[in-house]
Amino acid sequence: MNPAETPQFNIHAGNEFTWNVKPILHEIRHALQRFLDNGETSIIDLRSIPLAPGEEESIIETLGRGEVQARLDVLGASEIYETKYTGVWLVTHYNDSDSIVSRFIEVTEMPDVLKSQREDVVHALNALVTELGTDKT
């Protein structure tokens, strides 16, 4: 078949059917309001919502990128950044094949996974103590 004759199939969301984008953006708006009013944090699991091809990208595009971004190396990469709406973070976890395994929108001061974890600090302190103990100088 001539490439020009190849039928084009619209499996990506066009402007006409992005039904789920606005409701999720409103959900984020409500979460941000709650966070401001009483400090309540929220997490939205983007993989639990039926989204048409292109809708997730549309949400992410609307949220944009803000001032802070981080890349973690934890069981594969994780990408975390604050969107252009302060207090709204996008957290994307990848496996070691760089496939997305989960994606969340967090409304918080800072996602918990970014903070140093007490258990890791204990481990770090032990490691540092051992390091100093073997250092004869």
Partner 1 sequence: MTKDKNLKNGAPEQVNLEKGTPVKGTLGEALRSQGVSRRSFMKFCATTASMMALPPAMIPTIARALENARRPSVIWLSFQECTGCTESLTRAHTSTVESLIFDSISLDYHHTLQAAAGHGAEEAREVAMEENYGNYLLVVDGSIPLDNPGYSTIAGISNLDMLNEAAKGAAAIIAVGTCATYGGIPHANPNPTGAVSVKDIIKDKPIINVPGCPPIPVVITGVLAHFLTFGSLPELDHIGRPKAFYGQSIHDRCYRRPFYDKGQFAETFDDEGAKKGWCLFKLGCKGPTTYNACATTKWNNGTSFPIESGHPCIGCSEPDFWDGGGFYKALSMPTVDLSQTAAYAAAGAAAAGVAIGLMNRSKKNTSNKIHVKTTLEDLKK
Q: Site residues (CB under 8 A) for partner 1?
A: 7-11, 13, 17, 19-20, 43-45, 47-53, 55, 72, 74-76, 78, 91, 93, 95-97, 99-102, 104, 112-113, 117-123, 125-126, 129-130, 132-133
**Token pair recorded at residue 4:** 């020009």
- Give the residue with the Cβ less far from partner 1, 36 or 75: 75
Q: Are strands 88-94 and 100-107 parallel, antiparallel or unpaired?
A: antiparallel
Q: How far is the CB of 94 from partner 1 (least distance, A)?
A: 9
Measured CA to CA in angstroms, residue 9 lies from 28, 35, 53 at distances of 32, 42, 13
Q: Smallest distance from the beta carbon of 30 to partner 1, in angstroms?
A: 16
Cβ proximity to partner 1: between 47 and 65 the closer is 47
Least gap, CB of 136 to partner 1 (angstroms): 9
Question: Helices 55-63 & 21-38, crossing angle to 10 degrees?
Answer: 40
Based on CB atoms, which residue is closest to partner 1, 55 or 82? 55
| Burial (CB count within 10 angstroms: exposed 0-12, middle 13-18, buried 19+), residue 91 | buried
